[in-house]
Chain A
Amino acid sequence: MGRVADVELRNVSKVFDNAVVAVDGVSLEIEPGEFFSLLGPSGCGKTTTLRMIAGFEMPTSGEIYIEGRPMGETPPFRRNVNTVFQNYALFPHMTVADNVAFGLRMKRVPRDEITRRVREALQLVRLVGFEDRYPRQLSGGQQQRVALARALINRPRVLLLDEPLGALDLKLRKEMQLELKHLQMTVGITFIYVTHDQEEALTMSDRIAVMNAGRVLQVGTPLEIYERPSNRFVADFIGESNFLDGRVVELNGQRATVLVDDRLPVPARVQDGLAVGEQVTIAIRPEKIRLHPTGGEGAEGCVPGRVEEVVYIGTDTYYLVRLTDCCTIRVRVQNSQNRLDSGEMVGEGTEVLLSWLPETAMVLKA
Chain B
Amino acid sequence: MALAEGVETQPQPPASLAARLTDWARRRTGIKLSLVLGPGAFWLLVFFLIPLGVVLAYSFASRGAYGQVIWRLTLENYTRFFDWLYIRVFLVSVWIALLTTVICLVIGYPFAFVMARVPRRWRNALLVLVMVPFWTNFLVRTYAIMLLLRNEGLINSALRWLGVIEQPITMLFTTFAVVLGLVYGYLPFMILPLYASIEKFDFTLVEAAQDLGASTWQVFTRVLLPLTMPGVVAGSILVFIPSVGAFVTPDLLGGGKVVMIGNLIQQQFLTVRHWPFGSAVSFVLMAVVLVSTMAYFRVGGERRV
Contact check, B214 vs A91: say whether CB atoms are below 8 A apart: no
Contact check, A102 vs B204: say whether CB atoms are below 8 A apart: no
Q: Which of A76, A77, A93 contacts B304 (CB 8 A)?
A: A93
A56 to B227, CA, bound (A): 22
Q: Using A77-B213, A150-B212 as known contacts, say yes or no to A89 and B218 having CB atoms under 8 A apart.
A: no
Q: Which of B173-212 contact A (CB under 8 A)?
A: 202, 204-205, 207-212
Cβ contacts under 8 Å, B205 to chain A: 89, 91
Smallest beta-carbon distance A136→chain B, Å? 10
Q: What size tier do the contact residues of chain A reach?
A: 20 to 34
Of chain A, the residue at the smallest CB distance from B208 is A89
Q: Using A85-B207, A87-B204 as known contacts, say yes or no to A93 and B212 having CB atoms under 8 A apart.
A: no
Tell me the number of A-to-B contacts counted with CB atoms below 8 Å: 60
Q: Is A92 engaged at the interface, CB distance under 8 Å to the other chain?
A: yes
Smallest beta-carbon distance A100→chain B, Å? 10
Q: Is A194 engaged at the interface, CB distance under 8 Å to the other chain?
A: no
Q: Which of B212, B223, B226 contacts A103 (CB 8 A)?
A: B212
A85 to B205, CA, bound (A): 10
Contact check, A77 vs B223: say whether CB atoms are below 8 A apart: no
Contact check, B213 vs A93: say whether CB atoms are below 8 A apart: no
Give the top 8 A-B pairs by smallest Cβ distance, nearest first.
A103-B212, A89-B208, A106-B213, A76-B210, A89-B204, A77-B213, A83-B211, A106-B214
Q: Is A154 engaged at the interface, CB distance under 8 Å to the other chain?
A: yes
Smallest beta-carbon distance B26→chain A, Å? 36
Smallest beta-carbon distance B209→chain A, Å? 7
Q: Is A65 engaged at the interface, CB distance under 8 Å to the other chain?
A: no
Q: Is A263 engaged at the interface, CB distance under 8 Å to the other chain?
A: no
23 contacts between A and B (CB under 8 A): A54-B207, A54-B211, A56-B211, A75-B210, A76-B211, A77-B212, A77-B213, A77-B215, A81-B211, A82-B211, A85-B207, A85-B208, A87-B204, A89-B202, A89-B204, A89-B205, A91-B209, A102-B209, A103-B212, A106-B213, A106-B218, A134-B305, A154-B213
A51 to B293, CA, bound (A): 44
Of chain B, the residue at the smallest CB distance from A134 is B305
Q: Which of B212, B227, B305 contacts A106 (CB 8 A)?
A: B212
Contact check, B212 vs A82: say whether CB atoms are below 8 A apart: yes
Q: Using A75-B210, A87-B204, A102-B209 as known contacts, say yes or no to A93 and B227 having CB atoms under 8 A apart.
A: yes
Q: Using A89-B205, A89-B208, A91-B208 as known contacts, say yes or no to A77 and B214 having CB atoms under 8 A apart.
A: yes
Cβ contacts under 8 Å, B204 to chain A: 85, 87, 89
Of chain A, the residue at the smallest CB distance from B303 is A93
Q: Which of B207, B208, B211, B226 contacts A93 (CB 8 A)?
A: B226
Q: Is A107 engaged at the interface, CB distance under 8 Å to the other chain?
A: yes
Cβ contacts under 8 Å, A90 to chain B: 208
Cβ contacts under 8 Å, A91 to chain B: 205, 208-209, 223, 227
A107 to B209, CA, bound (A): 12
A339 to B305, CA, bound (A): 59
Of chain B, the residue at the smallest CB distance from A156 is B211
Q: Which of A87-123 contact B (CB under 8 A)?
A: 87, 89-93, 102-103, 106-107
Cβ contacts under 8 Å, B212 to chain A: 77, 82, 102-103, 106, 150-151, 154
Cβ contacts under 8 Å, A106 to chain B: 212-215, 218
Cβ contacts under 8 Å, B227 to chain A: 91-93
Query: Interface size of B by Cβ–Cβ distance < 8 Å?
Result: 19
Cβ contacts under 8 Å, B214 to chain A: 77, 102, 106
A107 to B212, CA, bound (A): 9
A91 to B204, CA, bound (A): 10
Cβ contacts under 8 Å, B213 to chain A: 77, 103, 106-107, 154
A154 to B209, CA, bound (A): 13
Interface of B is mostly: helix
Of chain A, the residue at the smallest CB distance from B203 is A89
A150 to B205, CA, bound (A): 13
Of chain A, the residue at the smallest CB distance from B219 is A77
Smallest beta-carbon distance B302→chain A, Å? 11
Smallest beta-carbon distance B37→chain A, Å? 32
Smallest beta-carbon distance A105→chain B, Å? 8
Q: Which of B210-243 contact A (CB under 8 A)?
A: 210-215, 218, 222-223, 226-227
Cβ contacts under 8 Å, A77 to chain B: 210-215
Cβ contacts under 8 Å, B304 to chain A: 93
A77 to B207, CA, bound (A): 10
A61 to B271, CA, bound (A): 75
Smallest beta-carbon distance B270→chain A, Å? 49
Of chain A, the residue at the smallest CB distance from B227 is A93
A85 to B208, CA, bound (A): 8
> Contacts A85-B204, A89-B204, A102-B222 given; 5 further ones with Cβ under 8 A?
A56-B207, A91-B227, A93-B304, A93-B305, A151-B212
A75 to B219, CA, bound (A): 13
Smallest beta-carbon distance A268→chain B, Å? 48
Cβ contacts under 8 Å, B208 to chain A: 83, 85, 89-91
**Residue with the highest number of chain B CB atoms closer than 10 Å, among A85, A87, A90, A91:** A91
Cβ contacts under 8 Å, A151 to chain B: 211-212
A83 to B218, CA, bound (A): 18
A103 to B212, CA, bound (A): 5
A107 to B226, CA, bound (A): 20
Q: What is the 8 Å Cβ interface bit string for chain A, positions 129-165, against chain B (1 contact, 0 not)?
A: 0000010000000000000001100100000000000
Smallest beta-carbon distance A97→chain B, Å? 14
A56 to B205, CA, bound (A): 12
Of chain A, the residue at the smallest CB distance from B207 is A56
Cβ contacts under 8 Å, A154 to chain B: 212-213
A85 to B207, CA, bound (A): 9
Cβ contacts under 8 Å, A54 to chain B: 207, 211
A131 to B117, CA, bound (A): 34
Q: Which of B139-186 contact A (CB under 8 A)?
A: none
Smallest beta-carbon distance B200→chain A, Å? 11
Of chain A, the residue at the smallest CB distance from B206 is A89
Cβ contacts under 8 Å, B218 to chain A: 106
Contact check, B207 vs A89: say whether CB atoms are below 8 A apart: yes
